[in-house]
Amino acid sequence: MKKLYFGSNLKMYKGISATREYLQKLVENTKDISRDDIELFIIPSYATLQTATDCCDRDFVRLGAQNMCWEDQGQFTGEISPCMLAEMGLDLVMIGHSERRHVFGESDVEENKKVKAALSHGFKTLLCIGETAEQKEYGISAETLRSQLKIGFYSVSPEECKNIWVAYEPVWSIGVNGTPASADYAESMHKEIKTALYEIFGEKAEEIPVLYGGSVNPGNAESLIVQPSIDGLFVGRAAWDADKFDTLIRDAMKVYAEHNC
């Protein structure tokens, strides 16, 4: 059976002590789950990263950053250098989250610069993609995802696939006003994504896990995780309580195992 990915982006929510408590509890809760079966990752906010790396047992939880600059250093006030993230001991960075694209106006070309920089620093690089409600309405979801992937991974070599993760997060499904995608719709978009990744990277694309994110909750996690093209769940609000996230993971794993035995 394939390894399942479960992760959460804490956005700008938990402060330093809340992040510490959350991570310690999540490790305690999930310790008995074999890490051969799951990859568990958490992406806290920048100001908490040093505390997170100090307090969290990294054998159980991989920690990541929510964004980074494509340059190592220079006149980039307010940006975070990949060298600084590496110095903190991080090995995962998320690029192109919907809020970076749609609230802060980042473009595919900028995401590509960041992806290339992250890979060149040896980070696991999680590229987030997703269509808006309007693009879905116009029937151009697949085209949108293909173009985000083609530009996002422009001039990235197939040898880098071992360090690439992709999260499909339809913009209309994310956050408090989001509507969760149905499992069938998510599966059909994941198939499109896997086809596009194959076009870009050839066979090495099979190494890239593709996660679904956007209003994942205890009521839909199981129907999503059993979809053949969904390799994991990228969970926001429903993961921010360590007990509830632990339950969601276990329930999803159970259903996945039953479905695949």
Residue 234 binds ligand PEP, judged by CB under 6 A:
yes
> For residues 86 and 260, what is the distance between their CA atoms, to the nearest angstrom?
38
Residue at shortest CB range from ligand PEP: 236
- What's the min distance (Å) between Cβ of 202 and ligand PEP? 29
Residue 232 binds ligand PEP, judged by CB under 6 A:
no
**What are the backbone angles phi and psi of residue 18, rounded to the nearest 5°?**
-65, -35
CB atoms within 10 A of CB 58: 14
- What's the min distance (Å) between Cβ of 83 and ligand PEP? 26
Residue 236 binds ligand PEP, judged by CB under 6 A:
yes
Among 95, 164, 235, 249, binds ligand PEP (CB under 6 A): 235
> For residues 113 and 115, what is the distance between their CA atoms, to the nearest angstrom?
6
> For residues 194 and 211, what is the distance between their CA atoms, to the nearest angstrom?
11
Report how many residues bind ligand PEP under the rule CB under 6 A.
13
Taking CB under 6 A as the rule, which mask of x and - marks residues 166-205 in contact with ligand PEP?
Answer: ---x----xx--x---------------------------
Taking CB under 6 A as the rule, which mask of x and - marks residues 91-110 in contact with ligand PEP?
Answer: --------------------
97 flagged as catalytic? yes
- What's the min distance (Å) between Cβ of 46 and ligand PEP? 16
> For residues 109 and 97, what is the distance between their CA atoms, to the nearest angstrom?
14
Catalytic-labelled residue, pool 99, 131, 160, 169: 169
**What Rg, from alpha-carbon coordinates, does the chain have?**
17
Residue 216 binds ligand PEP, judged by CB under 6 A:
yes
**What are the backbone angles phi and psi of residue 170, rounded to the nearest 5°?**
-55, 135
> For residues 75 and 89, what is the distance between their CA atoms, to the nearest angstrom?
24
Residue 237 binds ligand PEP, judged by CB under 6 A:
yes
Contacts of 14 by beta carbon, 8 Å cutoff, 6+ apart: 22, 44, 45, 48, 240
Please say whether the beta carbons of 212 and 233 come within 8 A: yes
Q: Tell me the CA distances in angstroms from 47 to 52, 84, 123, one per residue in order.
A: 10, 13, 19
Residue 144 binds ligand PEP, judged by CB under 6 A:
no
- What's the min distance (Å) between Cβ of 151 and ligand PEP? 20
169 flagged as catalytic? yes
- Which amino acids are annotated catalytic? 97, 169
Query: Which residues make up the interface to ligand PEP (CB under 6 A)?
Result: 9, 169, 174-175, 178, 213-216, 234-237
